[in-house]
Amino acid sequence: MDNCIFCKIAKGDIPVKKLYEDEQVVAFNDVNPQAPTHVLVIPHTHIATLNDLTHDNQYLIGHMATVAAKIAKDVGHAENGYRLVMNCNQDGGQSVFHIHMHLLSGRQMEWPPG
Ligand code: AMP
C-alpha cells in the first residue's frame, strides 16, 4: 500500500531501528511509548485490520505473538509479565490501518484497559 506508514517502515523506506526482522514480520519501538518497553510487531504483508485476516494468514498472529514474547524475554520483562494488544477499528482504538501487535512491559498494567 503506497500511503501506508507501516508498509514504508517494513520496506525500509522510513528508517527505524529494527529490533527484530524475518521474512514475515518486523519489530520496532513505538514512537509514542506508553510503557518503558513499547514495541510494535508488524507483518510485511499489508493487512488493514484484524477483520481482514483469512485462513491463509491466520498463523501470522501466532508468529507475531511468539516474536513479541521473545523480545519481552530479551529485555528481561518476561518473568514479571507484559501485555500484548491488538486494536481493531474505531471502537478498538486503531489509528494505523496495517495490523500490529503492541508489546507493553516494564510497569504494572491496569485493568480494565480503558
Ligand atoms: P494503534 O492505535 O493500535 O493503531 O497503534 C498505532 C501505534 O503506532 C501508536 O502507538 C503510534 O504511536 C505508533 N506509530 C505511529 N507512527 C509510528 C512511527 N512512524 N514509528 C513508530 N510508531 C508509530
Cα–Cα distance, 71 to 41 (Å, whole number):
10
Statement: the pTM of the whole predicted model exceeds 0.95: yes
Place of cell 494488544: 85
Kindly report, residue by residue over 10-38, the tens digit of the pLDDT. Answer: 999 999 999 999 999 999 999 999 999 99
Tell me the CA–centroid distance for residue 95 and ligand 1, in Å: 7
Instruction: Tell me the mean pLDDT in the region 93-112.
Output: 98
Mutate to test the pocket of ligand 1, among 6, 13, 29, 40 (most ligand atoms within 8 A of CB): 40
Name the residue at shortest CA distance from atom 3 of ligand 1. Answer: 94
pLDDT at 1 (0 to 100): 78
User: Residue 55 — very low, low, confident or very high, per pLDDT cuts 50/70/90?
Assistant: very high
Contact 36, 44 (CB under 8 A): no
Cα–Cα distance, 16 to 11 (Å, whole number):
11
The alpha carbon dihedral of 16, 17, 19, 23 has a sign of positive
Name the residue at shortest CA distance from atom 16 of ligand 1. Answer: 31
Q: State the chain's mean pLDDT as an integer.
A: 97
Which has the closest alpha carbon to 72: 35, 40, 107, 104? 104
Q: Where are the domains of the chain?
A: 5-105
The domain defined by 5-105 folds into: HIT family, subunit A (3.30.428)
Contact 113, 92 (CB under 8 A): no
